[in-house]
Chain A
Amino acid sequence: MISGRERTLSAIRDALGRGALGPDEKAKLERRLRYPRANVVPARGQCDSREGLVATFIAEAERVNATVERLCSGDDIAPAVADFLRAHNLPQRVRVAGDAVFKDVRWSDAGGLEAEAGPAAADDSASVTGAYAGIAETGTLMLLSGPDSPTLLNFLPPNHIIVLPEGSVVGTYEDAWHRLRAEVGTGIAMPRVITWITGPSRTADIEQTLLLGAHGPRRLHVLLVDGATSAA
């Protein structure tokens, strides 16, 4: 019996009026995959100065209803989280990812803030995670999955606080891919899940009325930490 695979592939080749590709042609395509090249890249995300990139990132993130707070140092993370929870009348309790960026954070110093590591539970009201990069072009946060950063932390709790070192802000999607290829790799080492988050969850499915917090978080708060370099 011919497998579905063979049937589909031969139907494609028939449709294209040719047989399987020859080695030369395949090598050409292989090169296109091995050395990916950028297509047109918008100027919006291309900026020479770090301050310019950060400013674009903040402006774009705020356009999509994220809130951004700039911190002078990692010491300010715990108090800023406590303030955010207080401001929104939330319990002083967060589920925290195990990212390196939190290594030196002393959560309990910020009043009665409780921080627990691990995957998100159904009734968690807020999570705090790191991000691999911020992408200025659209105010997007790029998060990688891994043993220390389970994906559900980004989706289950209705409040998501993301800590992003300023040094992790890149300009464009291509810049983000470039960094990922260089530092992590896109082969077998590529993380299982790469999530780009651009603002809090939303829907307009009822009468085209925009509502925040559909299935994912209702609030997305970014703590942009100065002086800190890349989390990786």
Chain B
Amino acid sequence: MQSTARAFTANARQALDDAKLQVALARFPEGFPVKRRLAVERLPEFEALRDDAKEIKDHVLAHLDYYLERFEAKVAERGGQVHWCSDAEEARTLLVKLCRDAGATTITKAKSMIGEEIGVNDCLEEAGFKPVETDLGEYIIQLRHEPPSHIIAPAVHLSKDQVAEAFRAAHKDLPDDRPLNEPQEMLDEARAVLRRAFLSSSVGITGANMLVAETGSIVLVTNEGNADLTQTIPPVQIVIASIEKIVPTLEDAATVLRVLARSATGQDLSVYTTFTTGPRRSGDLDGPQHFHVILLDNGRTRMLGGEFREMLRCIRCGACINHCPVYGAIGGHAYGWVYSGPMGAVLIPNLIGVDEAKDLPNASTLCGRCEEVCPMRIPLPRLLRKLRDQQFEAGQVPPLFRYGLRWWARLARWPALYRLATGAGVATLGRLGRRKGRFRKMPFAGGWTNARDLPAPQGRTFQQWWSAEKGVRQ
């Protein structure tokens, strides 16, 4: 997918002015975060489970080569085929080849973030296939030709009117005068349309929430059941997974599952959790004849060897996004690529380059809510600071801030000079601001005063008062 992360500031402004988006975002605080809190309160072991989940993933990352080879061997044992790709281009080429070999026309897809990363739909369309997203939210945004605005709720930015509009434009074979006012009517329509796609599909493409090394299983989690229809009906199944999705055992998968849905939607467990191992067996009445797993690096080994390894623990639950006040203000599209919120602000620069996404690490107050709720205990604010360190070192900080900071830092290192410089300023501002107690405008402070008054200084510094006070007391 083409990134617009360079235009973050403009994207954000547009998002703030988008009334419909703001209505959708206003629902957030009362939604996922509340549900997560209730789910966590109901499970006293939640914090201990987070520790275990983190430990599992750290262990896997330290032995990633072993577990991947082991996973591959198990998939092969069960009649499946594992392919290894280093980057998006390789993965796309392979995917198109596999679909051609399958003689595909309609291809059903279950929402996959790695699929978004490499732009699966665009590449399949270009190759002449008809990819159909089957997760309701993902289907809606596919019709609207836009990227997901949230990793677990891709169409969360839309109103039902916008959904209805997209359905009317796409489902031309249905009567124009059909009622399409309530979400239930839209769901019924999508269910019927997608049911036809499922039944005519020749390839099913899914991601994977986890890969189990012990058994060679892929784990898929959905609430709708679309992943199961995607991976059961067509004769060919292709799983695309990034290499960090491995867990060692079924027990380890259970631990991750216990924190995944609770962190994501506040459910104890998603409705469907499916462990799939290889293609259809003899005697089976359904299931694909061919089972492919594409293991994709796409930047992960680079992160593994650097300062951002901890980000590879991410299980894509979206808790950091749901609790991020910046996301809450501007939504997901402003981030300009596949991911958003704090995890996006760390991942996007790592995957497409800090140059392409200069604003993302900076557009955070570092309030720490993300780290507090991350089930895998990823220190997101610390990772954002690391990105800022890199940017400063590379000279990517705007001159005004760079010199301003340097000037302030110099002053801060020379207390006497600092007191001299600040004392005079404070006295002047204090005098000017005494009557009202605040300023509505201030040169060079437009960033502050465009939206807020600036409380006026009280007129002398604490240090001045303290010197006087000390004199009195001595």
User: B97 at the A/B interface (Cβ < 8 Å)?
Assistant: no
The digit string for A184-215, where 1 denotes a CB below 8 A from any CB of B, is 00101011111111111111111111010111
The digit string for A1-43, where 1 denotes a CB below 8 A from any CB of B, is 0011101110111111100110001100100110011111111
Asked if A201 and B199 make an inter-chain contact with CB atoms under 8 angstroms apart, the answer reads no
Q: How far is the CA of A209 from the CA of B182 in the complex (A)?
A: 10
If A12-B64, A194-B274 touch, whether A207 touches B27 (CB-CB below 8 Å) is yes
Among B224-232, B362-370, B401-409, B462-470, which stretch is in contact with chain A?
B224-232
Which residues of the other chain, B, contact A16 by a CB distance below 8 angstroms?
62, 64-65, 304-305
Which residues of the other chain, A, contact B43 by a CB distance below 8 angstroms?
42, 44
Asked if A15 and B302 make an inter-chain contact with CB atoms under 8 angstroms apart, the answer reads yes
Asked if A43 and B45 make an inter-chain contact with CB atoms under 8 angstroms apart, the answer reads yes
Asked if A192 and B281 make an inter-chain contact with CB atoms under 8 angstroms apart, the answer reads yes
Q: Which residue in A4, A17, A206 is a CB contact (below 8 Å) of B90?
A: A4
Which residues of the other chain, B, contact A43 by a CB distance below 8 angstroms?
44-45
Asked if B301 and A194 make an inter-chain contact with CB atoms under 8 angstroms apart, the answer reads no
If A213-B191, A215-B134 touch, whether A205 touches B154 (CB-CB below 8 Å) is yes
User: A84 at the A/B interface (Cβ < 8 Å)?
Assistant: no
Asked if B191 and A155 make an inter-chain contact with CB atoms under 8 angstroms apart, the answer reads no
User: B215 at the A/B interface (Cβ < 8 Å)?
Assistant: yes
User: B2 at the A/B interface (Cβ < 8 Å)?
Assistant: no
If A32-B249, A122-B199, A192-B278 touch, whether A206 touches B272 (CB-CB below 8 Å) is no
Beta-carbon contacts under 8 Å, B411-459 to A: none
Asked if B183 and A206 make an inter-chain contact with CB atoms under 8 angstroms apart, the answer reads yes
Beta-carbon contacts under 8 Å, A126-173 to B: 137-138, 140, 145-147, 150-152, 154-156, 173
Asked if B65 and A12 make an inter-chain contact with CB atoms under 8 angstroms apart, the answer reads yes
User: A91 at the A/B interface (Cβ < 8 Å)?
Assistant: no
Q: Which residue in A9, A44, A147, A152 is a CB contact (below 8 Å) of B232?
A: A152
Q: How far is the CA of A41 from the CA of B49 in the complex (A)?
A: 8
Which residues of the other chain, A, contact B155 by a CB distance below 8 angstroms?
205-206
The digit string for B16-37, where 1 denotes a CB below 8 A from any CB of A, is 0000000010010001000000
Asked if B272 and A201 make an inter-chain contact with CB atoms under 8 angstroms apart, the answer reads yes
If A199-B271, A204-B153 touch, whether A155 touches B66 (CB-CB below 8 Å) is no
User: B8 at the A/B interface (Cβ < 8 Å)?
Assistant: no
**Chain B proximity of A15: nearest CB distance (Å):** 3
Asked if B65 and A36 make an inter-chain contact with CB atoms under 8 angstroms apart, the answer reads no
Which residues of the other chain, B, contact A195 by a CB distance below 8 angstroms?
228, 272-275
Q: Which residue in B68, B154, B223 is a CB contact (below 8 Å) of A9?
A: B68
**Chain A proximity of B112: nearest CB distance (Å):** 16
**Chain A proximity of B155: nearest CB distance (Å):** 5
**Chain A proximity of B356: nearest CB distance (Å):** 22
The digit string for B260-289, where 1 denotes a CB below 8 A from any CB of A, is 000001011111111111111101111100
If A207-B24, A208-B27 touch, whether A119 touches B271 (CB-CB below 8 Å) is no
Q: How far is the CA of A150 from the CA of B61 in the complex (A)?
A: 36
The digit string for B80-110, where 1 denotes a CB below 8 A from any CB of A, is 0001111000100000000000000000000
Most buried by A among B72, B198, B251: B251
Which residues of the other chain, A, contact B250 by a CB distance below 8 angstroms?
36, 177, 186
User: A216 at the A/B interface (Cβ < 8 Å)?
Assistant: yes
Q: How far is the CA of A37 from the CA of B194 in the complex (A)?
A: 41
Which single residue of chain B is at the shortest CB-CB distance from A37?
B251
**Chain B proximity of A204: nearest CB distance (Å):** 7
Q: Which residue in B136, B191, B232 is a CB contact (below 8 Å) of A205?
A: B136
Which residues of the other chain, A, contact B306 by a CB distance below 8 angstroms?
15
**Chain B proximity of A16: nearest CB distance (Å):** 7
Asked if A201 and B223 make an inter-chain contact with CB atoms under 8 angstroms apart, the answer reads yes
Q: Which residue in B52, B83, B156 is a CB contact (below 8 Å) of A39?
A: B52
User: A112 at the A/B interface (Cβ < 8 Å)?
Assistant: no
If A21-B63, A39-B252, A211-B183 touch, whether A196 touches B269 (CB-CB below 8 Å) is yes
Asked if A150 and B285 make an inter-chain contact with CB atoms under 8 angstroms apart, the answer reads yes
If A8-B297, A151-B228, A151-B286 touch, whether A203 touches B305 (CB-CB below 8 Å) is no
Q: How far is the CA of A36 from the CA of B66 in the complex (A)?
A: 16
Which residues of the other chain, A, contact B255 by a CB distance below 8 angstroms?
39-40
Q: Which residue in A29, A33, A201 is a CB contact (below 8 Å) of B224?
A: A201
User: B135 at the A/B interface (Cβ < 8 Å)?
Assistant: yes
If A21-B66, A60-B268, A195-B228 touch, whether A145 touches B284 (CB-CB below 8 Å) is yes
Which single residue of chain A is at the shortest CB-CB distance from B254?
A173
Asked if B48 and A188 make an inter-chain contact with CB atoms under 8 angstroms apart, the answer reads no
Q: How far is the CA of A122 from the CA of B201 in the complex (A)?
A: 14
Asked if A177 and B136 make an inter-chain contact with CB atoms under 8 angstroms apart, the answer reads no
User: B258 at the A/B interface (Cβ < 8 Å)?
Assistant: yes
Which residues of the other chain, A, contact B78 by a CB distance below 8 angstroms?
188, 192
Asked if A33 and B286 make an inter-chain contact with CB atoms under 8 angstroms apart, the answer reads no
User: A174 at the A/B interface (Cβ < 8 Å)?
Assistant: yes
Q: How far is the CA of A4 from the CA of B87 in the complex (A)?
A: 10
Asked if B64 and A215 make an inter-chain contact with CB atoms under 8 angstroms apart, the answer reads no
Which residues of the other chain, B, contact A154 by a CB distance below 8 angstroms?
228
User: A118 at the A/B interface (Cβ < 8 Å)?
Assistant: yes
Q: How far is the CA of A138 from the CA of B90 in the complex (A)?
A: 41
**Chain B proximity of A214: nearest CB distance (Å):** 3
Most buried by A among B68, B269, B278: B269
User: A64 at the A/B interface (Cβ < 8 Å)?
Assistant: yes
Most buried by B among A8, A37, A199: A8
Would you list 7 pairs from A and B whose C-beta atoms are within 8 A, ordered by A residue?
A11-B86, A21-B65, A26-B66, A32-B248, A203-B137, A215-B224, A215-B225
Binding site for A on B (CB under 8 A): 24, 27, 31, 43-45, 48-49, 51-52, 56, 62-70, 72, 77-78, 83-86, 90, 134-137, 140, 153-156, 158-160, 163, 183-184, 186-187, 191, 194-195, 198-199, 213-215, 217, 223-226, 228-229, 232-233, 243, 248-252, 254-255, 257-258, 265, 267-281, 283-287, 295, 297, 301-302, 304-306
Shortest Cβ-Cβ A-B pairs, 4 listed: A216-B225, A15-B305, A214-B224, A205-B137
